[in-house]
Amino acid sequence: MIITDYRIRATAAGGLLRAVAVQTTEAARTAQEVHRAWPVAAAALGRLVSTAAILGADFKQDQARITVEVSGDGPLGRIVAETRPDGSLRARIEHSDVDLPLNQVGKLAVGQAVGRQGFFRVLRQDHAGEWYQSQVELQTGEIGDDFLHYLAQSEQIPSAVSVGVLVDEKGLIIGCGGVMAQALPGCPTDIVDQVAGQFDHLAHISRRLADGETLEALIGKLLPEPIRWYEKEPLQWQCWCGRCNIQATLGTLPESDIDDLIGDGGAEVTCHFCRQAYHFSVDDLKTLADLKSH
Ligand SMILES: [Zn+2]
């Protein structure tokens, strides 16, 4: 079976209810592989990738990138997931080799690994490169709870969110995804309550996705009929670093730093998102230094 990552949006109750669901199993698996992430780190990465993919359903015309960042006081350090309007996803983690025992309910201890003190941030970059940031304090570090708190505080829309990652007995990701439902102003409270009740049945979203359940089936259980469906959008793990971008970043270093790299006989720069290494020879660096001095 070929599993392809995608996102789907739907509305109900005459447009007053909306839902976004994402399947990100492949992207999360790649993130786990690229970062050689241990299970609890992979779960945190997968949940954050799903969060970014959900936020990506609401790209505004002038936006080029959405970044979601979790910085807690736990052993994983800073975790970042990013998405672009074309559905590309990438993620990085400070410490991927964290091992913790399962928590009291027998699940990967993501909250403990992320930490409960810290911030959940969403940054949106426009096409001119300007960043707009909003952040909330972490609630539990479980990422889903923190995302929900962010939606309530920053966007002030009553929402329900579930993001989940399932790993097999070897600790490898076999299911990853998320779903968000929101009630827009004017939505009758009995319908909101009904959706909130249905949400409890979606607690094991990653298990459902691993078992082959579709996002459409998930949303179908959540929203009342009739449901209006929007087109499926493909999602994929794809880094957009490229040599040109890395070179541009090198170009922002002070001249003295570039001189030091020339003295070192060249530089190797590794992308933190995809771990691709880029080599810059002494000649490359001299050209860069020349460009800076002119
Ligand atoms: Zn990269």
Averages of pLDDT over each 10 residues, the chain, 294 residues: 84 95 97 97 98 96 96 98 97 96 91 97 95 96 96 89 94 96 92 87 84 94 95 96 90 91 93 95 91 76
Distance 243 CA to ligand 1 centre (A): 9
- Residues 141 and 175 placed together within one structural domain of the fold: yes
Tell me whether residue 1 is in a domain.
no
Q: Which of 199, 221, 237 is the last residue of a domain?
A: 237
Q: Which residue has the tokens 């920053």?
A: 154
- Residues 169 and 273 placed together within one structural domain of the fold: no
How many domains is the chain partitioned into structurally? 2
- Residues 122 and 255 placed together within one structural domain of the fold: no
Beta-strand relationship, 228-229 and 267-270:
unpaired
- Residues 146 and 41 placed together within one structural domain of the fold: yes
The parent domain of residue 276 ranges over 242-293
Distance 25 CA to ligand 1 centre (A): 19
Q: Which of 216, 237, 258 is the last residue of a domain?
A: 237
- Residues 177 and 230 placed together within one structural domain of the fold: yes
Tell me whether residue 160 is in a domain.
yes
- C-alpha dist (Å) from residue 137 to 44, 45, 80, 95: 17, 19, 16, 21
Distance 265 CA to ligand 1 centre (A): 23
Query: What pLDDT does residue 3 have?
Result: 57
Distance 270 CA to ligand 1 centre (A): 8
Distance 122 CA to ligand 1 centre (A): 20
Distance 30 CA to ligand 1 centre (A): 13
- Residues 107 and 164 placed together within one structural domain of the fold: yes
Distance 179 CA to ligand 1 centre (A): 27
Q: Which of 199, 214, 237 is the last residue of a domain?
A: 237
Query: What pLDDT does residue 161 have?
Result: 94
Distance 272 CA to ligand 1 centre (A): 7
- Residues 216 and 80 placed together within one structural domain of the fold: yes
Distance 18 CA to ligand 1 centre (A): 33
pTM: 0.94
Distance 16 CA to ligand 1 centre (A): 39
- Residues 157 and 246 placed together within one structural domain of the fold: no
Tell me whether residue 18 is in a domain.
yes
Q: Which residue has the tokens 């298990």?
A: 207
Distance 92 CA to ligand 1 centre (A): 10
**243, 279 contact by CB (below 8 A):** no
Distance 285 CA to ligand 1 centre (A): 20
**How far apart (Å, rounded) are the C-alpha atoms in residues 281 and 263?**
11
- DSSP 8-state symbol, 152: I
